[in-house]
Amino acid sequence: MTYLLTPQERKLLDHLQLEHEIFQVRGELPVGVGKVSLSRLTDLGLLETGPGRWGDTGWRLTENGWRCMYGKPLVELGSEGAPHRHLRIWSWPPTDDRLVSQPSTSSRLTTLPPRLANVSPRVKP
């Protein structure tokens, strides 16, 4: 089953990629990130825990966290050298953007003619 990340979880992963080599403690994480988001992402394998500053528990991205955001692990992102764009849908397991269905042109709604176009105005001169 595919799990879609919430906006708070996306914000957390986006923040953790800036200093991805160190474990960041709760005080260094974005406002609004709670225990539920941290434990859920850790259980999914997108974050790992370790010793942070001052001996507190900290979190950092795993290779699966990078796959969730970019569709590739960090090693592959660095070897290509070109700038990379996030996937449109952040989920675990990752959803390939090419597999997401695009709306077809035949499914567009047709415009209805105005209902009052043939009615004469009732304004007196």
Stretch among 2-16, 85-99, 109-123 having the lowest mean pLDDT: 109-123
What is the pLDDT of the chain when averaged over all its residues? 79
pLDDT given for residue 116 in this prediction: 64
Q: What percent of the chain has pLDDT over 70?
A: 71
The predicted-structure confidence for 83-103, as pLDDT tens digits, reads as follows: 677 788 877 787 766 555 555
pLDDT given for residue 99 in this prediction: 54
Q: How far is residue 12's CA from residue 33's CA, in Å, rounded to a whole number?
A: 7
Listed by start position, the domains of the chain span 3-94
Question: Which residues are within 8 A (CB) of 51 and not within 5 positions of it... i.e. 6 or more apart?
Answer: 23, 57, 58
pLDDT given for residue 75 in this prediction: 77
Residue 51 has pLDDT above 70, yes or no: yes
> Which of the four pLDDT bands, split at 50, 70 and 90, describes residue 79?
low
Q: How far apart are the first and last CA of the chain?
A: 69
Its CATH class, for the domain covering 3-94, is: mainly alpha
pLDDT given for residue 49 in this prediction: 93
> Which of the four pLDDT bands, split at 50, 70 and 90, describes residue 31?
confident
Q: How far is CA 39 from CA 35, 79, 93, 96, 98, in A?
A: 6, 31, 17, 25, 30
**Rg of the chain's alpha carbons, rounded to an integer?**
24
